[in-house]
């Protein structure tokens, strides 16, 4: 119940990057980001989760913001569909007939499927982007690709290079020659 006190606070930044101050009670950006954070986790309890570092004044990662916008559009679509269904049920209960049905024709209402793509886990996607992790199907397939490595070894002038080239052509594989690798290394210093 006091009227408060005035005080001077001195803040020193020993780091080479800027530090940002904000009030968790009055900062509009922080309050909006808190709503987004709660939506991402689907609850009101505080949880700790990792996000990529961001510069002073920067917003949440784009993956998290896209998720938030997709969730808002999805909720709006669901609310619109629910309101339409309730209006149709109310009209049906009152015995009202749609204008197209008075002429003996049936009206066909075409409703679009939700066009909202919801990102599975925006926090993981943001961290993967920050760390440079490529989780595309092509990258996954490249990691999962397995094959056979053939090493052709033998005495000099025994036909190793010709045999390796023939095997590579037959199996559609690359043929790597140690002589070529050494020559390229010497040429490139």
Model-level pTM greater than 0.85?
Answer: no
Closest CA to 19 of 60, 49, 57: 57
Q: Specify the pLDDT at position 117.
A: 47
Buried b (16+ CB within 10 A) or exposed e, 124-146: ebbbeeeeeeeeeeeeeeeeeee
> What contacts 114, CB < 8 A, 6 or more positions away?
74, 77, 78
Compute the Cα dihedral for 61, 65, 70, 71 and give only its sign: positive
What are the 10-residue block averages of pLDDT along the chain, 189 residues in total? 82 84 82 81 58 80 86 90 90 67 50 48 80 80 76 90 88 82 85
């Amino acid at each position: 119940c006091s009227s408060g006190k005035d005080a001077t606070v001195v803040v020193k930044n020993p780091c080479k990057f800027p530090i940002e101050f904000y009030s968790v009670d009055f900062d509009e950006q922080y309050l909006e980001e808190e709503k987004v954070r709660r939506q991402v986790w689907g609850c009101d309890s505080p949880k700790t989760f990792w996000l990529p570092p961001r510069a002073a004044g920067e917003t949440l990662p784009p993956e998290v913001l896209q998720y938030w916008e997709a969730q808002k559009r999805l909720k709006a679509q669901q609310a619109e569909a629910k309101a339409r269904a309730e209006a149709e049920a109310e009209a049906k209960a009152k015995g009202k007939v749609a204008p197209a049905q008075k002429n003996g024709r049936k009206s066909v209402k075409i409703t679009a499927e939700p066009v909202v793509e919801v990102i599975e886990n925006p926090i993981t996607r943001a961290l993967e982007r920050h760390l440079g992790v490529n989780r595309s199907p092509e990258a996954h397939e490249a990691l999962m690709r397995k094959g056979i490595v053939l090493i052709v070894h033998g005495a000099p002038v025994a036909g190793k290079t010709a045999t390796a080239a023939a095997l590579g052509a037959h199996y559609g594989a690359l043929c790597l020659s140690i002589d070529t690798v050494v020559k390229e290394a010497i040429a490139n210093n």
